[in-house]
């Protein structure tokens, strides 16, 4: 992926956790690989917690280096990467300081990318301040989630940013869309005649999408307690994965063709009936428990969390898509904190054969299944039945594996690395368009409103488990279970 596209990458929140753990390590890996970043490209960090460039570089050495290159840091590459970095000390609450940024970047070459690794309350003030000094032209703006608290606040941010930047300049980032297995899901579906005829209601019994975390809220208690799992994970990550799994084949892989098809899925989601919400939506909150032998506290005792908080840390949903391809096929979405394992995966359960001459084992659940693992190890596994060696026709479940780190010897590109390169090179396909975001909020908001109106507390679950028992009962009503329960 060679490029001669020069750029100036301006990183707001340059000393923040996201910049240290994800953004700067991703830019370093692109730099180290060679040919991915133009030699003339510059990174301009913006923050107020460092006095000058020297102090900022020291901060980067201390806080970024531990997150780069699992097999050790190439010191020569690291040194040349630091030469790309400039620093501007700005108080984001003072629009007059943006003249300092204008002067710092005015002679730097190429497209300007403004990455807002800040809280959403700063998105609009930053954009307006950029416009006030003429920095909204020949530019792209990257917005991190969450983009708003509900449909109204999301629209307010989009309206204000849209007055300053055109839609094709706005990159709403969802890092799950940059993961290698998600890209391979598109290749699997639309590059192979084997799967497309089966990817429909006649042959698919159900689909599960899980994003589970072992971690709790860590140092984000204040933020999380005002957000919750439905806003933090379902409205963006899970619905984006759902739309990719269920979308129709686009006529090409250009940005609007892909996003048009995702939007059709989001608009076809069956609205949740408030009278039926208890049967199709489970919300939970973790209590004290243990993760791999280590005791962890209850959510309500985490720093920054209100002691009587009713914020959900777990959500499981049964979702239906009202179109010809998927009518009647349940999609089960699940996400939670302090669960038994860290895993993100898509499970496609195919229907059993209608009649088996080989015995009842050929009709059992899970005999025909596709599991796409997004993390921690990125794999695609196809389960099927095969005859066991020996006398008689005894069948056993076997699987075919595609483990990316074993099949492809070259290193995989991390999600943020891919997405940042896409921003620099002007590729929008893996970023969320405004109408997609609005459709997702419209579907999620009635659930939020009903939970608020009912005033019922979340169902408790012990940290280190797979969530409330009600999530399993919801699947049992449809004659199925979560993948780990079957195993």
* 438 is known to lie in a ligand binding site: no
* 175 is known to lie in a ligand binding site: yes
Nearest to 360 by CA among 393, 390, 391: 393
Helix locations, 214-348, DSSP H = 221-225, 228-229, 239-246, 255-267, 277-280
The burial class, CB within 10 Å (0-12 / 13-18 / 19+), for 96 is: exposed
| C-alpha pair distances (Å), 451 with each of 151, 160, 305, 475 | 16, 29, 19, 21
Domains, the chain, in order of start with CATH, read 7-144 (3.40.50.720), 177-414+430-486 (3.30.360.10)
CA dist 347 and 209 (Å) reads 6
* 385 is known to lie in a ligand binding site: no
CA dist 422 and 172 (Å) reads 12
For residues 149 and 50, the answer to whether their CB atoms sit within 8 Å is no
347 - beta bridge partners? 208, 371
Position 343 scores a pLDDT of 95
CA dist 228 and 349 (Å) reads 29
CA dist 384 and 299 (Å) reads 41
CA dist 453 and 445 (Å) reads 12
Catalytic annotation, pick one of 31, 49, 67, 237: 237
* 179 is known to lie in a ligand binding site: yes
Q: How many CB atoms lie within 10 A of CB 202?
A: 10
Position 134 scores a pLDDT of 96
* 92 is known to lie in a ligand binding site: yes
pLDDT beneath 70, residues of the chain: 1-4, 69-71, 355-366, 404-411, 487
CA dist 378 and 403 (Å) reads 7
* 97 is known to lie in a ligand binding site: no
For residues 312 and 230, the answer to whether their CB atoms sit within 8 Å is yes
Position 2 scores a pLDDT of 44
6 CB-near residues (< 8 Å, 6+ apart): 38, 40, 41, 109, 110, 111
For residues 315 and 227, the answer to whether their CB atoms sit within 8 Å is no
237 an active-site residue?
yes
Q: What are phi and psi of 406, to 5 degrees?
A: -95, -35
* 74 is known to lie in a ligand binding site: no
Task: Please spell the DSSP secondary structure of 44-101, one letter per residue.
Answer: EEEESS-SSHHHHHHHHHHHTGGGS-TT---HHHHHHHHTTEEEEE--TT-GGGHHHH
């Amino acid at each position: 992926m060679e490029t001669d596209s020069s750029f100036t990458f301006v990183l707001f929140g340059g000393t923040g956790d996201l910049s240290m753990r994800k953004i700067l390590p991703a830019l370093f890996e692109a730099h180290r690989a060679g040919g991915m970043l133009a030699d003339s490209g510059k990174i301009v960090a913006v923050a107020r917690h460092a006095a000058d460039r020297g102090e900022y570089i020291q901060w980067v050495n201390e806080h970024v280096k531990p997150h780069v290159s699992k097999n050790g840091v190439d010191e020569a590459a690291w040194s040349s990467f630091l030469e790309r970095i400039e620093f501007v000390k700005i108080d984001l609450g003072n629009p007059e300081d943006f003249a300092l940024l204008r002067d710092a970047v005015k002679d730097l070459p190429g497209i300007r990318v403004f990455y807002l690794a800040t809280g959403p309350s700063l998105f609009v003030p930053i954009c307006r301040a950029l416009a006030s000094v003429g920095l909204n032209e020949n530019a792209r703006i990257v917005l991190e989630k969450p983009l708003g608290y509900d449909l109204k606040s999301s629209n307010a941010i989009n309206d204000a940013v849209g007055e300053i930047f055109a839609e094709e300049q706005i990159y709403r980032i969802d890092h799950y869309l940059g993961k290698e297995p998600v890209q391979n899901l598109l290749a699997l579906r639309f590059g192979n005649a084997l799967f497309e005829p089966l990817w429909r209601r006649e042959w698919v019994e159900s689909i599960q999408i899980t994003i589970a975390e072992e971690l709790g809220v860590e140092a984000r208690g204040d933020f999380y307690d005002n957000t919750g799992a439905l806003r933090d994970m379902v409205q963006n990550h899970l619905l984006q994965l759902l739309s990719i799994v269920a979308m129709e084949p686009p006529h090409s892989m250009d940005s609007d063709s892909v996003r048009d098809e995702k939007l059709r899925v989001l608009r076809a989601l069956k609205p949740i009936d408030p009278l039926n919400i208890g049967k199709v939506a489970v919300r939970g909150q973790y209590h004290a428990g243990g993760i791999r032998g280590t005791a962890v506290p209850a959510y309500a005792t985490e720093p920054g969390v209100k002691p009587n908080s009713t914020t959900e840390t777990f959500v499981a949903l049964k979702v239906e898509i009202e179109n010809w391809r998927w009518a009647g096929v349940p999609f089960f979405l699940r996400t939670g904190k302090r669960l038994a394992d860290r895993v993100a995966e898509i499970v496609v359960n195919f229907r059993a054969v209608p009649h088996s001459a080989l015995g009842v084992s050929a009709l059992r659940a899970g005999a025909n299944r596709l599991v796409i693992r997004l993390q921690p190890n990125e794999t695609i596994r196809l389960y099927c039945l095969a005859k066991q060696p020996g006398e008689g026709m005894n069948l056993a479940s076997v699987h075919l594996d595609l483990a990316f780190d074993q099949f492809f010897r070259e290193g995989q590109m991390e999600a943020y690395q891919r997405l940042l390169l896409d921003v620099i090179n002007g590729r929008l396909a893996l970023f969320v368009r405004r109408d997609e975001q609005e459709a997702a909020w419209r579907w999620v908001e009635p659930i939020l409103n009903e939970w608020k109106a009912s005033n019922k507390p979340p169902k408790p679950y012990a940290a280190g488990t797979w969530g409330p028992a009600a999530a399993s009962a919801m699947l049992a009503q449809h004659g199925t279970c979560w993948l780990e329960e079957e195993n």
